[in-house]
Amino acid sequence: ERYGPIRVAGRKVFLPEPVVPAVGEARGDREWIFDLAKRLGLGADFWDGNVEASFDWQLEPLKLKAAELKKQPKGVDIPAGAPTPASNNPGFSTPSRKFELTSGILQKYGVDPLPVYKEPVESPVSAPDLAKKFPLVLNSGSREPMFVHSRHRNNPRLRELEPDPKVDINPKDAAARGIKQGDDVILEGPRGNVKAKANLTELAMPGVVHIYHGWVQADINVVTGRNFDPISGFPSFKSELCEVRKA
């Protein structure tokens, strides 16, 4: 129902075209994002709302235009580039220009240049009192192949493949809690809780549970804290403490 995004396969570039007309007021991601940018006064950074102009910008290194690509449904061959000329500044893109076993960039900012393990802010080791109430480690964020982020869960055929949000839990942990396959369960942490179906699997190691992202019915972000990694800023998607009980 939209043109794009530009795709590359092998040495061909494609601009996918709509298969069906857009339904109702549905619009492509770029269209509404660009419109929002214009309303925020950022239109100049988003090609003044011109989606095709943004495709032209992407295609500029290939000296192609989106209008030309639309006429080639089988794609356009990407020419092999010229050999990369020898650099006047040889080496790697590191401060020392050498292959670094320690990070010169991290060292510059006062961070340990070698990987060092540090216990999460909330874990059975670093927060034993909290772990008495929430003894399981929560791993979240994995994708399910039939969905894209939070999309497609209103598609009946795809929901036949995965009808409900689920929590993967080791059979030993489930047995200790009186939980059986397919039971409605509550996954709760210090900040909130979600409801899902129990999926007993040996793929979840004892002491760890796993929940998938993207479900409106089980938005794991209400459980996730704000214990961001001090270097990367990454949220604690893999190290929250939680408990699972029958609903």
Q: Would you state the pLDDT for residue 5? A: 74
Residue 216 lies in a domain: yes
Q: Does one domain contain both 153 and 195?
A: yes
Q: Would you state the pLDDT for residue 148? A: 87
Q: Would you state the pLDDT for residue 141? A: 86
Q: Would you state the pLDDT for residue 167? A: 97
Q: Does one domain contain both 100 and 172?
A: no
Q: Does one domain contain both 145 and 191?
A: yes
Q: How would you label 233-244 residue by residue, b for 16+ Cβ within 10 Å and e otherwise?
A: eebbeebbbbbb
Residue 233 lies in a domain: yes
Residue 30 lies in a domain: yes
Residue 83 lies in a domain: no
Q: Does one domain contain both 112 and 169?
A: no
Residue 86 lies in a domain: no
Q: Would you state the pLDDT for residue 207? A: 98
Residue 168 lies in a domain: yes
Q: Does one domain contain both 242 and 132?
A: yes
Q: Does one domain contain both 15 and 97?
A: no
Q: Does one domain contain both 71 and 98?
A: no
Q: Does one domain contain both 73 and 152?
A: no
**Spatial separation of the C-alpha atoms in residues 95 and 202, rounded to whole Å:** 45
Residue 178 lies in a domain: yes
Question: What φ, ψ does residue 187 adopt, rounded to 5°?
Answer: -100, 120
Q: Does one domain contain both 156 and 218?
A: yes
Sequential DSSP letters for the chain: ------EEETTEEE----SSPPPTT---HHHHHHHHHHHTT-GGGGGGG-HHHHHHHHHGGGT--HHHHHT-TT-EEPPPPPPPPPPSS-S-SSTTSS--SS-HHHHHTTS-SS------SSSTTT-HHHHHH--EEEEEEE--TT-BTTBSTT-HHHHHHS-S-EEEE-HHHHHHTT--TT-EEEEE-SS-EEEEEEEE-TTSPTTEEEEES--STT-GGGT------TTT----TT-EEEEEEE-
Q: Does one domain contain both 140 and 162?
A: yes
Q: Does one domain contain both 148 and 194?
A: yes
> What's the CATH code of the domain at 147?
2.40.40.20
Q: Does one domain contain both 232 and 178?
A: yes
Reading the chain (247 residues) residue by residue, the pLDDT tens digits are 677 777 787 888 888 888 888 889 888 889 999 999 999 999 999 999 999 999 999 999 888 899 998 888 888 888 776 665 666 777 888 888 888 899 888 988 999 999 889 999 999 999 999 999 999 999 998 888 889 888 888 899 999 999 999 999 999 999 999 999 999 999 999 999 999 999 999 999 999 999 998 999 999 999 998 899 988 899 999 999 999 999 9
Q: How would you label 78-112 residue by residue, b for 16+ Cβ within 10 Å and e otherwise?
A: eeeeeeeeeeeeeeeeeeeeeeeeebeeeeeeeee
* Count of domains forming the chain: 3
Residue 54 lies in a domain: yes
Domain that holds residue 14: 7-77
